[in-house]
Amino acid sequence: MSILLWTKKVGLMNYNEYLKMQKEHSEKIGTEQYFSTGNYTRMSKYLRTLIPKNIQKMLEIGCNAGYESTHLEQLCFELISIDISEKGIEKTKKRGINAFVMDMHKLTFENDTFDCVYANNVIEHAIRPNIVLNEIHRVLKNGGFFVFAIPQDGIECGKTKEEIIKLSEGWNPDLHVFKVTKDKLKEMLINHAFKIDIFEKKDIQEEFGMIHIPSNNTMLFGRLMK
């Protein structure tokens, strides 16, 4: 039986259609050029500074082709990376990373498995973010950390979808099905029993030279504890 899901921006969608859309997006951006640009690299480097020292086991959600995985494996004793793209996982494995094809809504790991879960610009692709947050909380050990970055797409940017696509050189804002503001995300995180250690909003154009029109160039960064 197919599962029908609802989002405000996308409407009624078959779950398999959602997965297909996100896989195609992941493979489209899965290029060295995209992930090695200076602005994205600077933003990712900053996010990695939020990872505590002496992490034993880390889960990376949304590894794409493993471009950041090689940096993350230096920050922990054991790294496991996941993505919904088969092609991305193949490339990640070629980098020597322990990687698996997996949907972040349905993590197959046991409870209390990881000391840290890392998600860099990934949760905005969740069609059911509450399920994803539940899963992250479940697989974290007590005292473990959730480190993430997510664009603040829930604000009003003053642009139509057509204008965003044109200004973003073809990027479709509907790919970010979870559109959230800082206050709303904070409320959700607390409701999912996370303890907030670091939670901040940054102007990514000013700090890293990145442009993201739907969020007015604002990104939310966080480090939470279970």
pTM over 0.75: yes
Q: Other CB atoms closer than 10 Å to residue 148's CB: what's the count?
A: 24
pLDDT in tens, 148-196: 999 988 666 566 656 555 555 555 556 677 888 999 999 999 999 999 9
Scanning 159-223, the segments in alpha helix (DSSP H) are: 161-167, 182-191, 204-208
- Indicate the domain borders of the chain: 17-225
Q: What is the CATH number of domain 17-225?
A: 3.40.50.150
Token duo for residue 33 = 């050029």
Give the model confidence (pLDDT) of 194-224 as tens digits: 999 999 999 998 998 887 777 788 999 999 9
With cut-offs at 50, 70 and 90, classify the pLDDT of residue 1. very low
